[in-house]
Amino acid sequence: GEDVEQSLFLSVREGDSSVINCTYTDSSSTYLYWYKQEPGAGLQLLTYIFSNMDMKQDQRLTVLLNKKDKHLSLRIADTQTGDSAIYFCAESPNFNKFYFGSGTKLNVKP
Amino acid sequence: DVKVTQSSRYLVKRTGEKVFLECVQDMDHENMFWYRQDPGLGLRLIYFSYDVKMKEKGDIPEGYSVSREKKERFSLILESASTNQTSMYLCASTPSNGRSPLHFGNGTRLTVT
């Protein structure tokens, strides 16, 4: 499969911004996704970005895409304790293929 | 909202048993997937199906088989469970339009003793 890389852990204080980074390898990926997984649960779609966009904002979430560097980031503004979870980025080069990173565990300290 | 339902949240099975994990989706999606999730390894694709009775191997199909007799249901079968198949199993579905994300079930945590 394709290589999607994420750092494993991130720790922030409540109220700060969190930035989770991801690099991917398939430049033909049409869509890139961010999923959130809370303990004991499946993956919940947070947001996605189409490959012809540089940025997408959705309330506290901002996704930045640098296609040249194949770099995707998710910024969470005013991070809350309820944001503590594992965050996965995923790329999709075609309708049958989705490649996931290992997930970044976000710990929000009160 | 799309609903993907996995029949069991937790399962404990013995080595050598045949194990069935069931998944049902209610949105008429053509594509269905089985992943396993292990710490530090992310999600690895076991099998996927793009239509009834159609299946394709993913990255780690060894020790698994699947069945898709009806569009809404995709079953993962462990023919003879082994301890290295202890894992979280996630089912997902998506339509075949190439523009939609995966929708996941809540997962089945399988322990093989």
pLDDT for the residue numbered A1: 47
Instruction: Name which of B33, B40, B106 is nearest A102 (Cβ-Cβ).
Output: B40
Contact between B42 and A101 using a beta-carbon 8 Å cutoff: yes
Q: Which residues of A touch B90 (CB under 8 A)?
A: 42-43
pLDDT for the residue numbered A106: 97
Q: Which residues of A touch B1 (CB under 8 A)?
A: none
At B14-52, the pLDDT tens digits run 999 999 999 999 999 999 999 999 988 889 999 999 999
Q: Which residues of A touch B40 (CB under 8 A)?
A: 8, 102
Q: How confident is the model over B61-76, as a mean pLDDT?
A: 97
CA distance, residue B80 to nearest chain A CA (Å)? 25
pLDDT for the residue numbered A96: 73
Q: How confident is the model over B57-78, as a mean pLDDT?
A: 97
Q: What is the pLDDT along chain A (110 residues), one digit of tens a residue?
A: 468 999 889 999 999 999 999 999 877 777 899 999 998 889 999 999 988 899 999 999 999 999 999 999 999 999 999 999 999 999 987 767 888 999 999 999 99
Written as one letter, the residue type at A28 is: S
First-residue to last-residue Cα distance in chain A: 38
DSSP letter for each residue of B24-81? EESS--SEEEEEEEETTTEEEEEEEEEETTEEEE-S--TTEEEEEEETTEEEEEESS-
- Confidence label for B96 from pLDDT (cuts 50, 70 and 90): confident
Q: How is residue B20 written in tokens?
A: 């069935």
Written as one letter, the residue type at A35 is: Y
First-residue to last-residue Cα distance in chain B: 37
How big is the CA angle at B44 (ends A90 and A42), to the nearest 5 degrees?
A: 70
At B27-37, the pLDDT tens digits run 999 999 999 99
Contact between A102 and B41 using a beta-carbon 8 Å cutoff: yes
Closest residue of chain B to A7, computed from CA coordinates: B40
Q: How is residue B3 written in tokens?
A: 């609903």
pLDDT for the residue numbered A2: 64
Three-class DSSP category at B83: helix
pLDDT for the residue numbered B102: 92
Mean pLDDT of chain B: 94
Inter-CA distances, B23 with A40, B5, B13, B87, Å: 17, 6, 18, 16
- Judge whether A29 and A89 are in contact, CB under 8 Å: no
In chain A, positions 49-78, which contact chain B (CB-CB < 8 Å)? Answer: none
Q: Which residue has the tokens 């999600």?
A: B43
